[in-house]
Chains A and B, each alone.
Chain A
Amino acid sequence: DAGVIQSPRHEVTEMGQEVTLRCKPISGHDYLFWYRQTMMRGLELLIYFNNNVPIDDSGMPEDRFSAKMPNASFSTLKIQPSEPRDSAVYFCASKKTVNEQFFGPGTRLTVL
């Protein structure tokens, strides 16, 4: 298995632009998580899905952030409009029920 796949690996954009981050979880995993990591706030859980259904989005900072999981093999995290304070590394992770999590390599987002 290729593991959790994220794209793009790096994204540089200008303030106000829409950003879409993509994630392909490990096949057979029924949980998918989106995290954001910064030096100031550490690793924050933004949202997680179970069987493609959003379970807890209380970590999503504001309405500019949205996440979807249209099927078991794909999820997106969208920021519209983006702001410089959104600059961070965004991680996607997946797991199967109550087991260890597997993280993707992350997307380093820079908003100028």
Chain B
Amino acid sequence: SQQGEEDPQALSIQEGENATMNCSYKTSINNLQWYRQNSGRGLVHLILIRSNEREKHSGRLRVTLDTSKKSSSLLITASRAADTASYFCATLSNDMRFGAGTRLTVKP
């Protein structure tokens, strides 16, 4: 299975600061995606980056992918209290398995 592993496990920042989360994986991929989970709810898809892309933007989100290092990062700029959630990465494969996620807390 292709499971992503996120770090740090927990991140606490002030509103307005940037938050960076990292993801590492072990096998070759075609795509990688990031999800967000608000407390008690299902995961919501945020952004997908393909293996031939190095960087992708969506609003305040910026994702990078380094296939040589088998790693990806998710940057949330100008964070808001509403960004408080857990963030997961997953490599696109049939058996979608997730890592432990990064728990982000944005303090107002």
Tell me the A residues contacting B by CB distance below 8 Å.
4, 31, 33, 42-43, 45, 48, 50, 55-56, 89, 91, 93, 95, 98-106, 108
Contact = CB atoms under 8 A, between A and B. Distances in A.
A21 B47 CA distance: 29
B25 interface: no
B38 to A, nearest CB: 11
B6 to A, nearest CB: 10
Chain B binding surface, main DSSP class: loop
Contacts of A4: 42
A50 B100 CA distance: 25
Nearest to A31: B94
Contacts of B88: 43
Given A42-B100, A42-B101, A100 B45 contact: yes
B103 to A, nearest CB: 11
